[in-house]
């Protein structure tokens, strides 16, 4: 399983609420058409917490997107698809910055 995780920051001039609304109501359904996506999760930031013994990083994030694929080849085919182009073109309308990571998970606690 391959996961692509993106840290998303909204465009200047867009409120967090406008960002979330577009991301969920418009952008989210576009992902349904992208071939090979096994799972798509939007994590909407509702707050933060700090710890007294660990300094906080200076990262501004409005949401975290997770795209799951069976393997790297499937992820590459999805990335090259016309449906993904539509998805990324829409993302450019409301996402100001993004940092994307390709992740191989190592599960520590099994699911119930």
CATH of the domain at 64: 3.30.70.100
User: Is residue 108 situated within a structural domain?
Assistant: no
The parent domain of residue 80 ranges over 2-47+59-103
User: If 0-12 CB within 10 Å is exposed, 13-18 middle and 19+ buried, where does residue 21 land?
Assistant: middle
User: Is residue 69 situated within a structural domain?
Assistant: yes
Which pLDDT belongs to residue 8?
Answer: 97
Which pLDDT belongs to residue 112?
Answer: 64
**Count of structural domains, the chain:** 1
**What is the mean pLDDT of each successive set of 10 residues along the chain, which is 112 residues long?**
95 96 97 97 92 89 96 95 98 97 87 67
């Amino acid at each position: 399983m391959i996961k692509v995780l993106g840290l998303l920051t909204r465009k200047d001039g867009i409120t967090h609420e406008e960002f979330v609304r577009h991301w969920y109501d418009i952008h989210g359904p576009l992902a349904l058409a992208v071939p090979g996506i096994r799972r798509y999760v939007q994590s909407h930031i509702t707050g933060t917490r700090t710890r007294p013994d660990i300094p906080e990083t200076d990262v501004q994030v409005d949401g975290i997107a997770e795209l799951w694929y069976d393997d790297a080849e499937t992820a590459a085919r999805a990335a090259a698809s016309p449906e993904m182009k539509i998805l990324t073109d829409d993302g450019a309308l409301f996402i100001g910055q993004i940092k994307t990571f390709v992740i191989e998970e190592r599960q520590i606690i099994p699911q119930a």
